[in-house]
Amino acid sequence: MRLVVTGAAGFLGSHLTDRLLAEGHGVVGIDSLITGTRRNLAHLREESRFTFLEQDVSEPIEIEGEVDGVLHFASPASPVDYLRFPIQTLEAGALGTRNALGLARARGARLLLASTSEVYGDPLVHPQSESYWGNVNPIGPRSVYDEAKRFAEAITMAYHREFGVDTRIVRIFNTYGPRMRPDDGRVVSNFIVQALRGEPLTVYGDGSQSRSFCFVSDLVEGIWRLFNADIHEPVNLGNPGEYTIRELSDLVLAATGSASAVEERPLPTDDPRVRCPDISQAAARLDWAPRIPLEDGLRRTVEYFRENRPSARPGAAPG
């Protein structure tokens, strides 16, 4: 197949691009590079089946030749990024998704939308299943990302119902691994960078809020299975193992061998108290479950940051 990946130079997009090429397909990668980096794709310079276009997906997407699938991952995706680029985040979710759907419709291609667990907001149901409608503040600081993805899901389903576009929607929970930016503001990269520098680990609130952490290779496997499945409704992908932020800080200190202290700061507005996926749909319909234990994934991620010493300081907002 010939596949288009938007956001291809980002953390997830670059890993997904690698997987698609490994499966034998051709890939056209698109990225505006406001949060992605060419470094994530540098190893593909001599790959004849890969083409890169530097473009904002909020502008019309024009691809010559055959297109069999569109995987729409373009968007700032960490709190630091979408709070710094609020308008671009909304445009990527609205205009970018419309343009990706328009390309898929014009070429008779399948489209997979990368949505997020953020559509559940600060959930009142735990763990979160796909049937839960969420508890989102539509005008809070995080709404630029939450509502962009909720709109993206709505227009994706509208194109499926109105025009028969063959669509998929994945709701991605916290993901980590190599190629995370040291300054992206996500809690795993924040903690690792701070620990390697011997700086205090920044915990927001008292650290009792919980998250689940899925290693990137596990997530990409689930995305590929969903792309090839006949499922149009949203599907959660993430690791159902639940950890408090305090527990994560202890695991990072152990993985890095750091003696860093832990420093508490006020909890940001609308920061979710709990976040954990119900993956029963993915297990039943995709035969998928994450395989990489958190300790193992953290070790691999620490190795990446040791080999790519970060010069930027971690972001100020939690992941």
For residues 155 and 191, membership in a common domain is answered with: no
Kindly report the backbone phi and psi dihedral angles of residue 302, in degrees, each rounded to the nearest multiple of 5, phi listed first: -60, -40
Does 78 share its domain with 187?
no
The answer to whether residues 20 and 122 belong to one domain is yes
Any domain includes 287: no
Task: Give domain status of residue 108, yes or no.
Answer: yes
281 lies in a domain? Answer: no
Do 270 and 221 reside in the same domain of the chain? Answer: no
The answer to whether 236 and 80 are in contact (CB under 8 A) is no
Residue 168 lies in a domain: yes
Q: Are residues 203 and 223 in the same domain?
A: no
**CATH for 107:** 3.40.50.720
Same structural domain for residues 245 and 96? Answer: no
- For the chain, the first-to-last Cα distance in angstroms comes to 34
Question: Which CATH number do you get for residue 299?
Answer: 3.90.25.10
Q: Walk along the chain (319 residues) and give the pLDDT tens digit of each residue.
A: 999 999 999 999 999 999 999 999 999 999 999 999 999 999 999 999 999 999 999 999 999 999 999 999 999 998 889 999 999 999 999 999 999 999 999 999 999 999 999 999 999 999 999 999 999 999 999 899 999 999 999 999 999 999 999 999 999 999 999 999 998 889 999 999 999 999 999 888 888 888 999 999 999 999 999 999 999 999 999 999 999 999 999 999 999 999 989 888 887 776 778 889 999 999 999 999 999 999 999 999 999 999 987 655 554 444 4
Report the pLDDT value the prediction gives residue 311, as an integer from 0 to 100.
54
pLDDT at 73: 98
**What's CA 63's distance to the chain center, in Å?**
24
- Ramachandran category for residue 179: left, alpha or beta (phi over 0 → left; psi -120 to 50 → alpha): left
What's residue 303's pLDDT?
A: 96
Domain presence at residue 52: yes
Query: Range of 182's domain?
Result: 178-212+241-275+292-307
Residues 164 and 248 in one domain: no
Distance between alpha carbon 244 and the CA centroid of its chain, in Å? 20
User: Domain count of the chain?
Assistant: 2
Q: Which of 82, 120, 132, 145 is catalytic?
A: 145
**123 and 256 housed in the same domain:** no
Can 145 be counted among the known catalytic residues? yes
Residue 284, in any domain of the structure: no
CA 319 centroid distance within chain: 11
Same domain, 112 and 197: no
* Length in residues, the chain: 319
Indicate whether 134 and 232 sit together in one domain. yes
User: How far apart are the C-alpha atoms of 141 and 133, rounded to whole Å?
Assistant: 20
pLDDT at position 314 is 52
Q: Are residues 146 and 257 in the same domain?
A: no
Kindly state whether residues 111 and 59 are assigned to the same domain: yes
Answer yes or no: is 312 within a domain: no
Q: Is residue 280 part of a domain?
A: no
